């Protein structure tokens, strides 16, 4: 009888990794003659949701996620929980483990004669998961607000000022609406870090902590501290009140936990406001000064960060820093970040076009899709190629991104929008120069990649060579 497996995939942004892991698991299961259904937790929500009946009949469940998903529904079933990257790179190994009978039962006891070799997610991975939950909820607010503000500049840089000759009511309205959206950046980040830790009870203290961080100048750093503080305080309160009678459940959830958590977290956030705001200001000033004093060094740092994990925490750190400086009116920094994020997929696309004989048919098809992904600021399109040979490909991608960022900073190009790729060229002050900077870094990297690629790998049609562009979405 054919084994029945289930899987859940999800990455922080719910765009690329989510669907690449799903397809990798499906392909591996098909090759091994195993039945599998995959639930994807993408940017638009969960698709292919696992039903109670399917969960009951499943032999094992693979959860390849870097975001919070409902795990309670899997109690009593063998569950293999790993980061989403392993769903892409080690899909066959995961299927083999799921079929081995050596996966522990969630919320139950495993036969003592069975060796457990489940790869448990460590503290670092849990912290990353909570942080990325906040970042993934924050990014749509940043993108929407940032682009609206950037569009308002089409009427003039001072078009929002009633005392300026450039004043335009429509532009002023767009800037104001965009400003409100950008202003929610830190509170949303903080609230959803807390929500990832303590579920709904963490949201109240999280929103309050984030609002205090934004109002006191603690900014992004204060928001992160507040998110973890609010989440763990709420979680502690929930667990410490488990002995209360069930009749007081509503009183606990609506009154006690919100009141105590907001009072404690709010007080601590105000006490930390001064020191954290000083550190935050120093960091922002340091980066802003570095772009003027040493644009080459800054470009190398930003380029390496953006291409190192392509959508992962290091990439997000560079991107979020750019959005924070963007909110302060610094449009130079984001120009380099965007260039560095666009370069990897364009680099891959050029390499597969210029060196066709060194890539399989599936890889060339995936490479062609990368032209579109790169042009729309979706870095993750390069991941399947980097996953095949990370020690060779990643340094080339980092070099290409660094060159693009360095050239952008040296030419002092300004990009006032936090996303959009080439779709927002009308908002860039030197659009042609910016595109040439990106193409220069991409072309040099593509030539290096093509010349160093020694042989054509077999056309086995797995996820490393193909994926559905429509599933990747259109936002980072």
Catalytic residues: 11
The C-alpha angle 135, 229, 70, rounded to 5 degrees, equals: 55
The separation between CA 159 and the C-alpha centre of its own chain, rounded to angstroms, equals: 33
Buried b (16+ CB within 10 A) or exposed e, 136-164: bbbbebbbbbbbbbbbbbebeeebbeeee
> Which residue in the block uniquely carries the two structure tokens 């997610």?
121
**Please, which residues have CB within 8 angstroms of residue 369's CB and are 6 or more apart in sequence?**
349, 381, 467, 469
DSSP for 315-341 reads HHHHHHHHHHHHHTT-HHHHHHHHHHH
3-state secondary structure of 57: helix
CB 206 within 8 A of CB 185: no
Radius of gyration, CA atoms only, the chain: 24
Task: State the distance between the two ends of the chain, measured CA to CA, in whole angstroms.
Answer: 42
Given CA atoms 151, 152, 154, 158 in this order, what sign does their dihedral have? negative
* Separation between Cα atoms, residue 40 and residue 84, nearest integer Å: 11
* Separation between Cα atoms, residue 302 and residue 450, nearest integer Å: 24
Query: Which pair of tokens denotes residue 315?
Result: 């990439």
The separation between CA 59 and the C-alpha centre of its own chain, rounded to angstroms, equals: 31
Residues 227, 233, 235, 240: what is their CA dihedral angle, to the nearest 10 degrees?
180
CB 305 within 8 A of CB 318: yes
* Separation between Cα atoms, residue 333 and residue 5, nearest integer Å: 46
Tell me phi and psi for residue 13, to 5 degrees: -90, -15
Residues forming a β-bridge with 132: none
* Separation between Cα atoms, residue 408 and residue 305, nearest integer Å: 16
- Beta strands (DSSP E) in 14-133 are 35-42, 45-47, 60-65, 79-82
């Amino acid at each position: 009888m054919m084994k029945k497996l289930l899987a859940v995939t999800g990455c922080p942004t719910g765009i690329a990794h989510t669907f690449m892991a799903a397809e990798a698991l499906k392909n591996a299961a098909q090759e091994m003659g195993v039945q599998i259904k995959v639930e994807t937790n993408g940017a638009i929500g969960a698709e292919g949701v696992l039903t109670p009946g399917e969960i009951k009949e499943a032999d094992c469940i693979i959860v390849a996620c870097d975001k919070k998903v409902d795990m309670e529904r899997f109690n009593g079933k063998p569950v293999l929980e790993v980061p989403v990257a392993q769903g892409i790179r080690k899909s066959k190994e995961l299927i083999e483990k799921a079929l081995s009978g050596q996966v522990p039962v969630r919320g139950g006891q495993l036969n003592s004669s069975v060796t457990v070799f489940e790869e448990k997610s460590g503290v670092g991975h849990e912290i990353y998961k909570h942080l990325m939950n906040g970042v993934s909820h924050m990014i749509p607010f940043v993108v929407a607000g940032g682009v609206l503000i950037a569009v308002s500049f089409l009427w003039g840089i001072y078009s929002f000022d009633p005392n300026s000759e450039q004043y335009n009511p429509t532009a002023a309205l767009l800037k104001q609406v965009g400003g409100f959206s950008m202003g929610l950046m830190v509170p949303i980040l903080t609230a959803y870090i807390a929500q990832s830790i303590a579920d709904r009870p963490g949201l109240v203290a999280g929103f309050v902590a984030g609002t205090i961080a934004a109002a006191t100048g603690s900014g992004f750093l204060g928001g992160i501290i507040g998110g973890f503080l609010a989440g763990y305080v709420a979680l502690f309160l929930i667990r410490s009140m488990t002995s209360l009678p069930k009749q007081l459940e509503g009183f606990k959830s609506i009154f006690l936990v919100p009141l105590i958590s907001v009072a404690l977290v709010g007080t601590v956030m105000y006490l930390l406001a001064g020191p954290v705001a000083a550190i935050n200001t120093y960091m922002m000033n340091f980066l802003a000064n570095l772009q003027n004093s040493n644009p080459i060094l800054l470009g190398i740092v930003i380029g390496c960060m953006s291409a190192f994990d392509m959508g992962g925490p290091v990439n997000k750190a560079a991107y979020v820093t750019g959005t924070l400086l963007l909110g302060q009116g610094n449009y130079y920094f984001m120009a380099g970040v965007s260039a560095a994020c666009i370069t990897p997929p364009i680099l891959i696309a050029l390499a597969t076009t210029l060196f066709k004989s060194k890539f399989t048919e599936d890889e060339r098809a995936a490479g062609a899709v990368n032209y579109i992904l790169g042009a729309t600021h979706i870095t993750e399109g390069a991941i399947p190629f980097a996953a095949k040979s990370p020690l060779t490909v990643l340094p080339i991608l980092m070099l290409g991104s660094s060159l693009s960022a360095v050239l952008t900073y040296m030419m002092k190009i300004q990009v006032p929008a936090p996303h959009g790729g080439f779709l927002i060229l009308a908002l860039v002050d030197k659009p042609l120069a910016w595109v040439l900077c990106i193409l220069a870094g991409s072309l040099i990297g593509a030539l290096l990649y093509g010349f160093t690629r020694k042989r054509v790998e077999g056309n086995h049609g797995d996820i490393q060579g193909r994926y559905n562009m429509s599933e990747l979405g259109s936002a980072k």
